[in-house]
Every structure is written in C-alpha cells, then in structure tokens.
Structure 1
Amino acid sequence: MASDSNDNKPLEHSMRHLEKGPGLASAPRDFLRDLNADNLSAGVVAGIFGLSAGIIHISAGTAAGLPKDFTLLWVISYLFINGLFGLILPAYYRLPLPVANSIPGALLFAAIIPVVGLNEALGATLMAGAISVVVALAGWMSLVMRLIPMPIVMGMVAGVLLKFGTNMVMPLQNALIPAVVMITAFFLSARFLRRIPPLVVTLVVGVLYMALSGADFASVEFSFRMPEFIMPAFSVDAFLAYGLPLALILVGMETPAGVGLVKGMGYKEAPANAITFVGGVGTMVSAFFNLHSTCIAAPMTGICSSPEAGTHDKRWVAAVIVGIIFVVAAPFYGFVFSLIEAMPSYFIAIIAGLALLRVISSAMHITFSGKHEVGAMFSFLIAVSGLQIFGIGASFWALILGAAISMLVEFRDFDFSREREAFRKRFPAKSAG
C-alpha cells in the first residue's frame, strides 16, 4: 500500500494546480434536478449556434481548396469530440463551460494544410495541445490572466461579439418582416410571458414564420458518418507556422475569453488551469481525428452563462445540453448542414444576437469602467477591426496588443502582488537584498 501511495505522488504533484470541482458522481442526478425551461432553451440556442458554426469550417475549407469530404469529416469530428469533452467539463465543475473549437485556429488549420500537408498539420495540433497541458499543469494560467486583465479580455470579447449584435439588426434592411416578427416576439414575451423563456418563443415564432413563408426543404438529405482515425506526422515548419500560433491562441485567447465571460456573468471563480488542461488534452485527442483543437467556446459560453439561462447555480445544465446536442448531431451533420442551408441565414443571426444581447452589454460595461481603460479600448477596437497579422486573427492580437499598450501607459493598474509574494517565499535572501 505504501508503494502505491508513493507511486501516486508524482501524479498528484503534477495535478495540484488543477482546480477542484463537485465531481461527476452526482452529476446525472443533479442535471435532472436542475433542468428547467430557462437552461434548456439557452442550451438549445447555444447548440444550434454551435451547429451553425460548422458552416465556418466548410467555408474555410472551400476557400483553401480542400475537398468537401474532408471538410464534412472535419465538422463531424469537431462536434463529436468536443461534445464529449463538453459533457465532462461543465458537469464536473457545475459551471456553464461549453466546449467547442477555436475559430481562429480553424482558419489557420484550413490555410496551412495545402502548405504543409494534413498529417503534418495534425502533428502540429498535437504539439499545441501538449503545450496547453504543460501550461495548465504548471499553474501558469493565473499569471496569464494577470498579464491580460479582465477589462482587456472583455474588450476583446465585446469586439468579437459586437458583430453578432450588428448581424442581428442587419436583416431589418433586407428581411424586414421576419426580423421584426422575431425581434418583437422576443421583447414582448420577455415583457408579458415571464414564465416562458423569450428565446423559446422567438425560436417557435421564427420556425412557424419560415414554414408559413414557404422555406424550401427539398435539398435536405439524410446521411450518417462517424469520426475517422488518422495518424499525425511531425515537421518543424508545420509547428512554427501553425502549431505555435495555435498554442498561443488556445492559452492566450480562448481560455481568457471564456473565463472572462463566466466572471463577467457574476461567477466569482472559473477554473482557468483546468479549462486549459481539458482543452489541451482534447486538442491532443483531436489531432488523431482530423480536428484542430478543443477549447472553451466563448460565444456559447456567453449564451449558457447569460441571465436568460436562469439562476446562476443551474446554468451549467445549458452547457451540458450543448454537449448532448453536439454528440447526437455529429454523425448526422450532413443532414443537419443541409437543413441549416435550407433556412435563411438571418434566422440564426437573429437568434444568436438576441441570446447574446445582455452578454454584449455586460462585456461593454466591464471594458469601459475601471482600470486598464486605454488597453481595453485598444483591445476592443482591434477585435472589431478584424485585422490579421502574420495570418493570425484579430482576437489574438486584441489581447496581446491591448495588454502591451496597457502595460506601457497603465502599468500601475496591473496586480502582480501574488507573484512578488511567491518570489519572496522562494528566494527570501534575494528579495531582502
């Protein structure tokens, strides 16, 4: 018994920085106990949003000249693998932490495959996941979060999510009647039907309108396909061109954005190291199944953690529902994609925009009130601009440049007290000298 205890010590030591949660043992029972109309509707909306995000992958693959068969398998793997991890993470922590993949990473992945090859790109994905795991096990995410403070993170989030708000109102220009019907249904139900979640009412009204207006479903086709195993290969070029930037995106953008959203919605703590660890492990698994990453899903986190998802202690159910929808829909995504194609594009745009309204408002409030005002403003502007530098998208640069500018002109707003205290404890003589 003593030897078993000693054998477990290295593992326990390496895992000590990962935050503890309520666990999975009672999760199924608690899920049924906490399930209600609010978190169910938010989960369904977030799940639909996640399914529609597959269109981004297909568009990126098409633009890069990749075969349609590859892109479809890519989306199937995205949904199935991330759906599985999306069942575990929110259930273990009882927090609204839906899992998906990095959209900036997806764009990099599609662009690099014609250059280095699919197997080499997946090898770089595997290395990026390993870097994320090391960062999480070392407990460095707390330092990352201090280097990129909340106002700067929320500035990036507000800039990224702003397009969802503008996309919601743009149909008023070319699809006035359905847009007015759906948006009006949302606010009228929020005002007069308080026991029925307004997103549910909006979904029902929207679907009814589409059916009555004669949406064409003739192109909808049934198909079934599971993820397929593929062996990664390794090259320095692929790692430098894609693997290292992907690791920076996962650690420096995706986790801070998700943690920022959760805290912005009133949760005091969010397991930053564990989120990064799960994303890293998921990314390593993804590398063997034609997928580029696993991480917390910022827009869906916004939907699942918003007030529309009900009370704080039950919003985690919405994230689990997203995972269920992903796993169930993945093998049938060929059918789902053809169904989404049959619906007008503004349908998802309006639903997603309405679901994120209060999240955008909260992100704006945190961005422009308090410390790091200059850095947060630049973070917001860079995220809104959509610029790309070295092929890396605006979300990443919003965090990096926003933090750099804030450190240059607002250094006193940074709090490194914990790091200084830790340094004093480790090197008392040096700190005294």
Structure 2
Amino acid sequence: MTHIEKGVGFRTAPRDFLRDLNIDNLSAGLVAGIFGLSAGIIHISAGTAAGLDAHFLLIWVVSYLLINGLFGLFVPAYYRLPLPMANSIPGALLFAAVIPLVGLEAALGATLLAGALSLVAGLAGVMGIVMKLIPMPIVMGMVAGILLKFGLNMVAPLESAMLPAAIMILAFFISARLLRRVPPLIVAMLAGIAYMAYSGVDFSGVAFSVTFPEFIVPEFTLQAFLAYGLPLALILVGMETPAGVGLVKGMGYKAVPANAITAVGGIGTMISAFFNLHSTCIAAPATGICASPEAGDHDKRWVAAVITGAVFMLGAPFYGFMVSLIQAMPGYFIAIIAGLALVRVITSAMQVTFSGKHEMGGIFAFLIATSGLQILGIGASFWALVLGVFVSLLFETRDFEFGTARLVTGKASLSKKAG
C-alpha cells in the first residue's frame, strides 16, 4: 500500500485547461518558463567553472528542460495545482563539482540511487513526518532567503541601468493600479522590450541550433554515492519538496501532495540518470511565480504550471539558440521580470516566517539561505533547514507539533490511569 495522494485525474484535463486558461495564468506561466530557461545559464556557468565539456553542458540543460517539462505537464494537470517541475539548483552545483572527481557515469549512477531513495520516501509516506520535523516558518524562512536575491537583483539595475529599470518597475506598478484586466508582468515585459528596441540592443550574435538529449548508461560506485548520491537524496527529500510544498501552502492551498511530489521527483530523477541529467523535483522559484496572485484566480493557477512545462519542452531542442538570445539581452531584463513576479511571494514567505512560532529558527534559516554559504560542498538552502531546525529545537522546543502531541497523549494516559 502506498501513501501517494489522489488527484483530480487526467480525463478532463484538456477541457479544464481550455476552460481555465486566461491572460493572467498565461502570462505567469510564460514568465516562469522564461525564468526556467534562463536558469540553465547557472548549469553552464557551474559546469564551465568545473572544466566540463561544452557539448555535455548543452545536452545537460536540454535534458533538464525536456524531461522536467514533460513531468511539468502531467503533475499540475493531474492535481489541478500550481506544481511546476524542474531540477535542483544545489544538486546541479554538486553534480558539476563531483563529475571531475568520480566521472560522469559514476555521478549518474549516484543520481539513479538518489532518485530511488526519493521514490521510496514518497511511496512510504514519510513526507508528513519530514514536514513536521521541518516546520513551515523555518521552510518559509529558507524560501524567503533564497528568493530575496531575486528581489535584490530586481532593484540592483537602478544603479547601473536606472532608466530601463525604472521604466519596467513603474510600468508594473502603474498597470497594476490602473489596468486591472492586463497582467502587470506583461506590461513590464513589453516596456522592457520596447526600451531594448529603442536603444538598439545587438542581436547579431544570436545563432540558431537544434540539440536533443543523449542516452548514457550509469555506473555505480560507493565513492560517488557517498560524495554525491546521498547528499542529493537528502536535498530532494529534505529541501526541495518542503520548499515547494511550503510555497504552495503559503499561497493558500491546503492539500498539497507532498508524498506524490517526492515520488514523482524520484521517478524523474531515475529517468534523468540515463540522459545526463541530475534530478527532477518541484521548482521552487517557478512555483512561487505560478502560485502567486499574479497568476490570477486561485483555482486556475495550475494552468500557469502546465504552460511552464510546455515552454520548457518547446525551448529544449533550441536551447543553444535560447542561450545566445538570453546572452544578447541586457542582464536587467530577466532580473527585473523575475523579481517583480516574486515580490508578493517574498512578502508572504516573510509573513509566515515571523508568524509567531519558530521565529528564532525561521530567522536563522532566512539568514543562512541569504548568506549563500557552503559546508562540505552542500549549499546554503540545505543548511538553512538543518540549522534552522536545530536552533528551533534548542530554543523553541514547545513550538514543535510532535512535542505537543506527546504532551497531550501523556496527559490523556495519566487521566485514564487516575480514573
């Protein structure tokens, strides 16, 4: 017997998609998709720094978009929830760093084992326990710390590119106030594109190319599993799922399928291991965009996640072209759009973080996630949760639900004995 949560199903999904599609969730899905495409630059930068082959880097990102885009179509459609799928950025940094040490095939073998562990965790239904051990204020503190950099990157261009940054940001807020039927993200994007056209941005270096994923057979070594596979499994189960679930719950969704998200991520990660990709999981920043109020009506935001998956799949084969296009754009454009899309998510995350319980753990999770520190080669997001929980256990023990449950059970048993 599994503990996978049931969803609405696929039977009426196409019809419901067309019924629920509107300009708000369309624009949010496009923004999340464009953000996901630009996130591939992180993989390329990390891989280049590690000395990895340029062709491998390209098929790595193509696989990331195609495989996770495919899962990103089905998961939100089945559950009718804004659950876009992508891959773990901390996992990507670990993957790039470990390949020169253990070899690509061994790293992918460790990926396969990490996916299997994630699948078992989802099927066993342990995510309820994980979510209790990592309380929501601490999760949202970590999320706020991760997303804060997107807010900072949004306002940073006001120093180096004041005019276009001011035009885009003002266009967003003015349209939000005056043009109720037009999504402010679309207005901000159009304002940025208009400025680029006016200022004469050079797109002459954009080159067209088509690339597809390549099959590879993983190998298994204990060294690769201990150095990379086990940390990746901990990241997928203990960080990526709680972060994504926390974001969706923070936007007002009560029932979020944490076990299914973990299990599906495990299956996707196991498939990924055969195509030069390191993981599949819920996409936290993209989730923030698709689940935010900018995506429109609460019960129709799932459409934005499906659109994100479609953008991933359509953009995947042409990613070489997309990279050259993104690199030709001024850096402020995507930074401002992503920041504007996430502003209200950051606000909600901060409110949950300081909602009354686990405040000390929450602030430590926030500060650690913001700092970007790395310990044992594992990024700040993971340690934000670990150390945030540790601090809260020390100073806020009574805030934990399992502590309260034990106390109540103990009192009940004493009452029975007394009776």
TM-score, length of structure 1 as denominator length: 0.93
Q: 1:420 to 1:26 in 2, by over 3 A?
A: farther
Partner of 2:362: 376
- Superposed, 1:167-206 pairs within 5 Å as 167-206=153-192
2:105 to 119, 134, 137: 119
Distance (whole Å) between structure 2 residues aligned to residue 53 and residue 420 of structure 1: 44
- Superposed, 1:246-257 pairs within 5 Å as 246-257=232-243
State yes or no: 1:159 paired with 2:149: no
State yes or no: 1:231 paired with 2:217: yes
1:194-230: per-residue Cα shift (whole Å, max 9, x none)? 1000001111111111111111111111111111100
Q: In the TM superposition, what is the alpha-carbon distance from 1:301 to its structure 2 partner? A: 0.2
Read off the aligned partner of 1:128 and give its amino acid letter.
A
Partner of 2:13: 27
Contact 2:154 2:339 in 1 (8 A): yes
- Which stretches in structure 1 are left out of the alignment for 5+ residues? 1-12
State yes or no: 1:347 paired with 2:333: yes
1:386-417: per-residue Cα shift (whole Å, max 9, x none)? 11000000000000110111111111111127
SS in 2 for 1:65: coil
Distance (whole Å) between structure 2 residues aligned to residue 152 and residue 410 of structure 1: 12
Distance (whole Å) between structure 2 residues aligned to residue 368 and residue 182 of structure 1: 31
SS in 2 for 1:57: helix
TM-score, length of structure 2 as denominator length: 0.96
Distance (whole Å) between structure 1 residues aligned to residue 224 and residue 198 of structure 2: 51
1:159-194: per-residue Cα shift (whole Å, max 9, x none)? 000000000000000000000010010001001101
Distance (whole Å) between structure 2 residues aligned to residue 404 and residue 244 of structure 1: 21
Read off the aligned partner of 1:25 and give its amino acid letter.
R
SS in 2 for 1:231: coil
Partner of 2:257: 271
State yes or no: 1:389 paired with 2:375: yes
Partner of 2:400: 414
1:99-130: per-residue Cα shift (whole Å, max 9, x none)? 00000000000000000000000000000000
- Superposed, 1:80-99 pairs within 5 Å as 80-99=66-85
Read off the aligned partner of 1:85 and give its amino acid letter.
F
1:338-369: per-residue Cα shift (whole Å, max 9, x none)? 10111011110000000000000000111012
Partner of 1:7: none
- Superposed, 1:44-123 pairs within 5 Å as 44-123=30-109
Q: In the TM superposition, what is the alpha-carbon distance from 1:30 to its structure 2 partner? A: 0.4
Q: In the TM superposition, what is the alpha-carbon distance from 1:420 to its structure 2 partner? A: 5.7
1:34-87: per-residue Cα shift (whole Å, max 9, x none)? 000000000000000000000000000100000111101100000000000000
State yes or no: 1:210 paired with 2:192: no
1:357 to 339, 343, 348: 343
Partner of 1:366: 352
Identity %: 73
Q: 1:419 to 1:241 in 2, by over 3 A?
A: farther
Distance (whole Å) between structure 2 residues aligned to residue 19 and residue 157 of structure 1: 24
Partner of 2:305: 319
Distance (whole Å) between structure 2 residues aligned to residue 95 and residue 208 of structure 1: 34
Read off the aligned partner of 1:50 and give its amino acid letter.
G
Distance (whole Å) between structure 2 residues aligned to residue 38 and residue 280 of structure 1: 31
Q: In the TM superposition, what is the alpha-carbon distance from 1:418 to its structure 2 partner? A: 10
Q: 1:115 to 1:318 in 2, by over 3 A?
A: same
Contact 2:137 2:362 in 1 (8 A): yes
Distance (whole Å) between structure 2 residues aligned to residue 28 and residue 209 of structure 1: 37
Moved over 6 A (4+): none
Partner of 1:328: 314
Partner of 2:115: 129
Distance (whole Å) between structure 1 residues aligned to residue 386 and residue 405 of structure 2: 20
1:218-256: per-residue Cα shift (whole Å, max 9, x none)? 111111111110000000000000000000000000000
Read off the aligned partner of 1:264 and give its amino acid letter.
G
Partner of 1:9: none
Distance (whole Å) between structure 2 residues aligned to residue 411 and residue 130 of structure 1: 33
State yes or no: 1:221 paired with 2:207: yes
SS in 2 for 1:356: helix
Distance (whole Å) between structure 2 residues aligned to residue 91 and residue 416 of structure 1: 34
Read off the aligned partner of 1:228 and give its amino acid letter.
E
Distance (whole Å) between structure 1 residues aligned to residue 260 and residue 405 of structure 2: 20
RMSD (Å), alpha carbons: 1.6
Partner of 1:6: none
Distance (whole Å) between structure 1 residues aligned to residue 377 and residue 22 of structure 2: 43
Contact 2:398 2:404 in 1 (8 A): no
Read off the aligned partner of 1:259 and give its amino acid letter.
V
Read off the aligned partner of 2:346 and give its amino acid letter.
I
SS in 2 for 1:53: helix
2:25 to 8, 26, 39: 39
Q: In the TM superposition, what is the alpha-carbon distance from 1:419 to its structure 2 partner? A: 7.7
- Superposed, 1:143-154 pairs within 5 Å as 143-154=129-140
